[in-house]
Amino acid sequence: MKTQSVIEPSFPQTVLEPIDLARVAILLDVDGTIVDMAATPQSVVVPPSLLRTLATLQVRTSGALALVSGRLVENLDRLFAPLVLPCVGGHGVELRASAYAPLHRKAIELSPSMKSQVVDAAAVDPRIIVEDKGSSLAVHYRLAPAQALLMKNKIGAIVARAPDEKLEMLCGKAVIEIKPRAFTKGTAVRELMRMPPFADRTPVFVGDDITDESVFATLPALGGIGYSVELFMAGASGMFGSPGEVRDWLALLDADE
């Protein structure tokens, strides 16, 4: 049975490393990486073909396939139902190593004052959506792109006025994330890679924006490989042109047996 596949991504003069599913852990960001961006977080659609591909790859990697997302795990479970996958959720505040493992959540919450200030700042335009994840906030302005600079300036000022809260502002694709610096996707991936069935495997990560930088930064210490989507990112070995290309690559891995 073959266990290696190669596909050429869009990034010039780059070829993806061969993948041996018995030896790797596949780690996937969600929005903008394996599913197409949508007008709102709730309107994102997971293609049925992707569900089938992930289900097969979960089996062929002996469970070493995980979603690494800013979405909370309960949101991921709804989005990918009926699949229940290992997850890093909420930018690293949540971790579940398998479908049968308990969900671990760090006891960190944003202050009510911080949440109130961000909600007030976003009230400038009713099309701006503030998503409260408890430990973080996501301000979505995809429906109001003209407000991007204003929102970045307003939220940047709010965060700067609260140094004791030790927060960071991450500007993704038409979204601004406000979260404590105490956790990141990268720290959660390091923790995940110490747990079975991920331990002793080579992580292969795919991500698409600044919220994934902490994972790319931690890959060298884990002996891992990273690929970006739509733009080249520091630490990435190559780049896919779109989420559709990532889905095609995953389907190729699934079909190569």
Q: Which residues belong to the active site?
A: 29
Both structure tokens of 244:
């559709």
Q: How far is the C-alpha of 128 from the C-alpha of 120, rounded, in Å?
A: 11
Distances (CA, A) of 257 to 2, 5, 28, 60, 159: 5, 10, 22, 10, 50
**Residue that the structure tokens 């990034």 belong to:** 11
Return phi, psi of residue 208, to 5°. -130, -10
Pull the structure tokens for residue 237.
Answer: 């070995």
Q: Any idea which residue has 């229940």 for tokens?
A: 84
Question: Environment class of residue 145 by beta-carbon count within 10 Å: exposed (0-12), middle (13-18) or buried (19+)?
Answer: exposed
Element spanning 167, H or E: strand 167-171
Quote the distance between the C-alpha of residue 18 and its chain's center. 23
Contact partners, residue 57, CB within 8 Å, separation at least 6: 21, 26, 65, 250, 253, 254
